[in-house]
Structure 1
Amino acid sequence: MTDRVCVGAIAGSFGVRGEVRLKSFCAEPEAIGDYAPLFTEDGSRSFTARISRPVKGGFAVRLSGVATKEQADALKGTRLFADRAALPELADDEYYHADLIGMEVLDTGGRSLGHVHAVHDHGAGDLLEIHGPGLKSTVLLPFTNAAVPTVDLGARRIIADPPEGLFSDD
């Protein structure tokens, strides 16, 4: 597990006074400013964030140290991270996507299916993107209690009971 978790991304500037359009990845999107300071991925910069108003696709946000449209434009694509300690405690059956990435995925018989490469949320529930040496292509495993009955953060492994035929040699 990492000390910081990605909580948002800057989609570009908003207006001409240095505000940015910020996409929040938080369960409560408007809470992103509560987790400040927010850091760039390499940790070289940090910001406080004050939400001005909701806008299409996120929020118009004033970041500390960003005063011009040009400075805001330069941050486009920047992912923002918060210290894990600043984030709320999760329920037993909830996980930060960052904690799942890289975990080994085993079937209920102990056979390795691969590793979690990414976690996707397209609105109907999370999907684990599994890559592995025995896979002909990427597999998207539904992240449901039925398909993923066990997540062991300490051992960094996931036990999966995938739908029949999802992995090529089932």
Structure 2
Amino acid sequence: MINIKSYTIINPILVGKIGRVYGILGWINLFSLTENKEKIFSYLPWFTLKNKKWKTIQLKNWKKHNNRFIIQINNVIDRSIASTWTNADIFIDQSQLPKLKKNEYYWNDIIKCEVFNVKHQYLGTVINLTSNKYNDTILIKNKIKKNKTIMIPFIIEKIVKNIDIKNKTIIVQWN
């Protein structure tokens, strides 16, 4: 059993999702959204939003199973109780993340940054980041151009010229 101290969530960050029930003993599938999938277990405690209130998820056990994870939550002892957790989002508080070095940032820090090209033209606001086998991509919503979504490869130096987290701006080599 993993012990959890009292904790308050102020700046929630989505790190995972609970999937369908696995077996009859209360195990549940877990989908990690962290870059290193197993890293999600180093960010305890987890939280979920139920009935507009933050609830702490107290993890009893976890294990890797067929290239994914299954978990047991305290006091979840059978399939019917476990099914009440299906599709629950898992959050942590931003304060639980490790401190970064200078010029490092989390993807979460890039969300809501204003994006401009090198000619100082406004392209939009970052709404999300995605990853594929070739590179990461930032998704930008431009409200001026009828909510057009722009996808720009997140390639530092070649395309992404500057990231200023403090002022929430990104400069890109893009038309």
Range into which the TM-score falls when normalised by the shorter chain:
0.7 to 0.9
Matched length: 162
| CA spacing shift, 1:65–1:88, aligned 2, 3 Å | farther
- Which among 19, 28, 32 is matched to residue 24 of structure 1? 32
| CA spacing shift, 1:43–1:5, aligned 2, 3 Å | farther
Q: Residue 141 in 1 paired to residue 152 in 2?
A: yes
Q: Which residue of the partner structure matches residue 6 of structure 1? A: 14
1:51·1:59 contact (CA, 8 Å) conserved in 2? no
Alignment-mate amino acid for residue 35 of structure 1: Y
Alignment-mate amino acid for residue 126 of structure 1: D
Shift of 1:38: 0.3
1:5·1:84 contact (CA, 8 Å) conserved in 2? yes
The whole-number CA distance in structure 1 between the counterparts of 2:29 and 2:149 is 32
Q: Which residue of the partner structure matches residue 124 of structure 1? A: 134
Any idea what SS the aligned residue of 1:116 has? strand
Q: Which residue of the partner structure matches residue 159 of structure 1? A: 171
* C-alpha distance after superposition, 1:68-126 (max 9, x if no partner): 32232222222211122222233445432222222111111222100111111123221
| Identity between Structure 1 and Structure 2 (%) | 25
Any idea what SS the aligned residue of 1:30 has? helix
| CA spacing shift, 1:158–1:39, aligned 2, 3 Å | same
* C-alpha distance after superposition, 1:28-78 (max 9, x if no partner): 322322211101155521113355321245201112343332232222222
* Bigger share in strand: 2
| Of 9-18 and 82-91, the range deviating more from structure 2 | 82-91
The whole-number CA distance in structure 2 between the counterparts of 1:142 and 1:74 is 39
| CA spacing shift, 1:28–1:43, aligned 2, 3 Å | farther
The whole-number CA distance in structure 2 between the counterparts of 1:29 and 1:110 is 37
- Which among 92, 117, 134 is matched to residue 82 of structure 1? 92
| CA spacing shift, 1:128–1:61, aligned 2, 3 Å | same
What CA RMSD, in Å, does the superposition of the two structures yield over aligned residues?
A: 2.2
